[in-house]
Every structure is written in C-alpha cells, then in structure tokens.
Chain A
Amino acid sequence: MAETKVATRPRPASRGRRRAIARRAGASTARGSELWTAALFIAPALALYILLMLIPFLNSVYFSLTDWNGATLAKNFVGLANYAEMLQDPQLYEAFRNNLVWIVIGTVVPVSVGLLLAMIMWSTPRFALVFRTLFFLPYLLPIVVVGLVWNWIYHPLYGVLNSFLELIGFDYLTRGWLADGDTALYAVLGAAIWSAFGFVTVLLFAGLQGVNTDVVDAAAIDGANWLQRARYVVIPAIAPVLTLVTSITLIGGFAVIDFIIVMTNGGPGNRTSVLGFYAYNQAFQRNSVGYGTAVSILITVLSLVAAVVFIKLREGGRERG
C-alpha cells in the first residue's frame, strides 16, 4: 500500500514526481534505488499505522453515525442522532463538568508545583539532581499501582490521610475520600497530580538549563527580589517550555480514563465520570457502541482544538522571540 503511495503515486502534475522521473531517467541508478529503499523502509510502519490507527479513527466517525449495539450484523445509519442526543444527556453534561474540573485543577496544580520546584532546584543546585531523580519516580509508576496505593491513602479506616487529619485535630474532616461524592473527584485528581508533577518538574528544569544566568544576575544587582526575578526574567525565558508542558497536561486531561477505571469506576453515582470514562462506559458496559463512539468523537474534537490552539500559541511565541 505504501509502495504505491511513495513510488508510483498517480499524480503526474506533482513537481516532486517530475523531479523523481527526471532523476531516474537521468541514468542515475542510485536515485532509483534510493526511492525503492525509501518505499521499503516506510511501508511496514505505514501499513501498521493505517491498519490500527487511521482505520479505527475513520471507523469511529462511521460508528458515531449509527445506532449499533456491538452485537448485530447490520449497523443502522442514523445520521447525527447520537450527537443530537448528546445535547440532551444530563450524564454527558455531568461528565463534561467533571472533565473541566479535572483539566483545570489537573493542569494548574502540577504546572505551578513543577515550576516552583524546578526554580528552587535551579537556584540551589546542591542536591538538585538527587531531587530530580526523586520527583521523576512517580511518573514511572503504572497507573494501576498509583491508583491502588492512593486508594489505601484515602482508606476510611486505616488511610494515612485520615490518621494525619486526626493527628492535627481536624477529626471532623475525616471521611471515605473516594466514597464521598463531594470529594471523590478531587481525591482521584490528587493521585493523578502526584503521578504527573515530576514529569512537569523535569521538563521545566531542563528548560531552565538554557536560561542565561547573567540576565538573572543583572536583575538581582538591580535589586529585583526572588519573586520579581522569577516573574519578569525567568518565566518569560522558559515560556515555550511552559506552554508546552501546560498543553501536554491539558490535552491529556481530555482523554483521561485509566485513573477513573482503577480508582472509582465513575462512582459514587456519576460523580467521577469524565468524557473518556463515559464513552468507555456506554460502549463497553452498556452496549451503546454508536453513542459511545459519538462521545469519543467529542473528545477527539476537543483535544484537536486544544492542540491547534497550542501550536498557534507556540508559533506566536516563536515569532515574538
């Protein structure tokens, strides 16, 4: 499939193609062999990618226009009915609201904490690499393990969170954090933030290595305090990395699903249901494959929009820089 695409794509008007023909006709056998090498090298990756990435992606558009339940042979075309249904689905709105909370808190907290830690590590370099290693460790853990351990931390009887609150005299705050509808989403977020902040810290720390310390020194001599130096000198200098980690965290937030499955399975009620979980739940647990896929298309659109906005932001930042 890829070979036809690469070597003999039927587009006579393309300039590259004419160049390729000219090359081959120009008695340069090396050029011809180059083309074949390129085709052979790309074909396996492209074939697999088309089969297991692009086709399911296109199929998700198709499925979302049907009322398929996953079992019948025929898929009835229903047009945009699933999308119309989404507009009137209170559970979808609840999942969307929870997802917004997830994205905002799940982006702001790790990025702020990561920025704080990265700047401290950068300005007090002794042991900085030890802390970098330490902070990076949670990012390496499988989400299953993170979820299980935080389940224990939130355990109503034996969990360290409740023990700690009792110790400092806030007994009235103790509860089953994941079973209480008012706290469950934030409790899951806590685990997700714990597993992500190290990644943000390491990236920002790497970005800080490129900052010119002379400028920071000059600001210090001019009497700028720590906060002012951070606000007016350091943060603008690492703005591209900051935009990048913010958008990676943000875009990932639209598709989150594993933490929810591992820790709460959407409950209590739908209090921790997010869009990805709702799509999963509809398609795999309630056999509404068509509708679940429509929800997944919503996720795709939201994350693609976020990605495009982010690319624009970066380009804007580059032009200014």
Chain B
Amino acid sequence: MASVGAPAEHTRMFSPLHRRMAATGSRYAILVLFGVITLYPFILVVSTGLRDPVSINVNPFALFENIRLATISDAWTLGGFGGYFKNTLLITVPTVAGTIVLSTMAGYALARIQFPGRNLIFFTFMLGLMIPFTSIMIPLFYELIDLGLFGSVWAVILPGIAGSAGFGVPLGIFLMRAFFQDLPNELAEAARVDGATEFQVFRKVMLPLAAPGIAVLGVLVFFQSWNQFLMPLLYLPGEENRPLSTGLYIFASGRVQDFELIAAGSVIMILPVIVIFLIFQRTFVKGVTAGALKG
C-alpha cells in the first residue's frame, strides 16, 4: 500500500510544503464531498425510520427528530414487513443454495473434464450473461403460467437460478469454472491413482479447495437475489408470497404516505445486506471485481 503513495510523495521534493498540503487537502475535500453525497440518503432513511409518526407531518425529513425505536417494530408487525422478510428469506436461501450447487458441479465439469462439445456448452451458458432480463421477461411470464409456477415462490427461485435475472448459473459457472481451472492438478491425479472415482475426486479433493470461490459466489447471489425487484413484481403478484422489495414498493405506492413506516421497512430490508457486506467485505469486493474483471 505504501508504494501507492509514491506519486504524491515525489511532488513533495519539488513543491513548497504549503502547495502540497493544499493539493492533498483538496483531494480529501473531494472525497469527503462525495462521502457526504453517499451517506445522506442512508442517514435520511435511518432517521425517518426512527421517527415518531405523531410529529412526522410537520417536516417528514428533518433528521433525527422525535426518535422512536418502536417505529421499526411497528413496520415489522403493522406494516407487514415481518412477513415480507420471511418470504424474502424463503426465496433467497434456495436461490443461493441452488445456484451454488449447480454452478459448482457444472463449473467443475467444464473446467476439469475433457469431453466433446465442452466449449459449445460453456459458450451457451455465457450467452446468458449477455441476454438482459428485459429481453425474456414477457415470454417467461406466460411460460411460468403454463408450468403452473406463476405466483409461487418457485416462479422467482427457478428463473433466478437459471440466470434469467442476471445472477444465476451463467455467472456462477463463469466464476467457478475459472476458479477450478486455477487449482493444481496434482492432488486430483494422486486421488485418482489411489482409486478414487470421479465423483470422489470432486467431493473429497476439489470441493474443499473451492470454498473461497463458493463464498464469493454465495455473497454475490445473496445480495442480488435479496434485492431483486422485477421478477417478484411480474411473477409474484399475490400478497402471501410477496418479498420485501415489492412489499415496500406497493406499501409506498399507497394513497397515504406513512413516511416513517416506509423508511422503517427500508431499514429492515437493507440491514441484512449491509451487515453481511461489512462482515464479508473482502469476499464481497472480490466477487464484484472478479465477476467483472476475470473475463
């Protein structure tokens, strides 16, 4: 990290001290300015979500006035966000698990087993990374009706795993194949010599080594599935399976604007993602950059 500072340090030798300090100062000023722009909407949501509804109509967006923690629990119970939270979990957990299992298996086969048509299959999957959801949302709507999935959580889980909304097996295979390709061959060969079947080689030798890659894929799919809006909007119209995203949207589209409950619902929705991000930050950033940079 220290060497990165070199450009700034070299200017030191040529410029007077105060000029350098002004330059550094203006750089931090820009960072702080954008930091404020970044943070203000977060502060607005959190502070509005903690408002007492009695006072909210005077100035709904005054920051941290009349704080009332119970607003969050009101949203959870009265606003119905507790139920939406449960539904979001019921969609996200199978989506993440399914994407991990299917992409790990297919990514392994595409990376480490020689067979005819391998590249064709890989490129077929990669086509999925280029097809935007907008291109398939209309036929998928009618297909899900025909399949009898429309309105059930599977109408969002299965297309999610398939990659319809951009984060399923195409992305997973892309990441896991690259990951398995980077693993050394010696261990697998040793296991084969010892008489392990192909499945045992995968399960006992390669899979444990792939844990970091699986973690990256897991957090990536988790936050995109948790946040997704269009698929639930189109394919889960009913109240009983509604997740947080469309629950919040429909709640906020109502005639009466309960600002404090909308904000509290938003806090409920974003909190798990922020917490997981702060815990797995390295994995997270690695996932986002690897997903984009590796190709």
Report A's interface with B, CB cutoff 8 A: 5-7, 9, 14, 16-17, 19-20, 30, 33-42, 44-46, 48-49, 51-57, 59-60, 62-63, 70, 113, 116-117, 120-128, 131-146, 148-150, 152-153, 155, 158-160, 194, 198-199, 202-203, 206-207, 209, 213, 216-217, 220-221, 226, 229, 241, 244-245, 248, 251-252, 254-255, 257-258, 261-262, 275-276, 279-280, 283-284, 289, 292-293, 296-297, 299-300, 303-304, 307
| Option from B130, B168, B223, B262 in Cβ contact (under 8 Å) with A148 | B262
Q: Is the CB of B132 within 8 A of A33?
A: no
Q: Is the CB of B288 within 8 A of A123?
A: no
Q: A150-B41, A241-B293 are in contact. List 6 more A-B contacts (CB 8 A).
A: A42-B106, A56-B136, A135-B35, A144-B246, A144-B248, A226-B23
Q: Which residues of B contact A207 (CB under 8 A)?
A: 293
Q: Which residues of A contact B130 (CB under 8 A)?
A: 251, 303-304, 307
| Option from B7, B59, B292 in Cβ contact (under 8 Å) with A123 | B7
Give the CA-CA distance A19 to B118 in the complex, in Å. 13
A288: min CB distance to chain B, Å? 10
User: Interface size bucket, B side?
Assistant: 35 or more
Q: Is the CB of A203 within 8 A of B288?
A: yes
Q: Is the CB of B132 within 8 A of A202?
A: no
Instruction: Provide 28 A-B residue pairs closer than 8 Å at the C-beta atoms, listed in order of the A residue.
Output: A16-B115, A16-B118, A38-B113, A41-B108, A48-B161, A52-B164, A59-B143, A60-B138, A123-B4, A124-B27, A125-B1, A127-B31, A132-B285, A137-B274, A140-B270, A140-B277, A141-B270, A142-B227, A142-B229, A202-B288, A203-B292, A206-B285, A258-B230, A261-B233, A284-B234, A300-B132, A303-B135, A304-B130
Most chain-B Cβ atoms within 10 A of its Cβ — which of A132, A159, A209, A262? A262
Q: Is the CB of A140 within 8 A of B109?
A: no
Give the CA-CA distance A113 to B33 in the complex, in Å. 12
Which secondary structure dominates where chain A touches chain B?
Answer: helix
Q: Is the CB of B28 within 8 A of A124?
A: yes
Most chain-B Cβ atoms within 10 A of its Cβ — which of A60, A123, A145, A261? A145
| Option from B38, B41, B115 in Cβ contact (under 8 Å) with A135 | B38
Report B's interface with A, CB cutoff 8 A: 1-8, 10-11, 23-24, 27-28, 30-31, 34-35, 37-42, 44-45, 48, 59-61, 102-103, 105-106, 108-110, 113-118, 121, 124-125, 128, 130-143, 158-159, 161-164, 168-170, 173, 192, 197-199, 202, 223, 226-230, 233-234, 244-246, 248-249, 252, 259, 262, 266, 269-270, 273-274, 277-278, 281, 285, 288-289, 292-293
Give the CA-CA distance A251 to B274 in the complex, in Å. 27
Q: Is the CB of A123 within 8 A of B5?
A: yes
A87: min CB distance to chain B, Å? 20
| Option from A41, A144, A152 in Cβ contact (under 8 Å) with B106 | A41
Q: Which residues of B contact A262 (CB under 8 A)?
A: 229, 249
Knowing A120-B30, A125-B1 are in contact, say whether A276-B134 is a contact too (CB < 8 A): yes
Knowing A48-B169, A140-B273 are in contact, say whether A158-B137 is a contact too (CB < 8 A): no
Q: Which residues of A contact B274 (CB under 8 A)?
A: 137, 140
Q: Is the CB of B5 within 8 A of A37?
A: no
Q: Is the CB of B162 within 8 A of A48?
A: yes
Q: Is the CB of B6 within 8 A of A216?
A: yes
Q: Which residues of A contact B162 (CB under 8 A)?
A: 48-49, 51-53
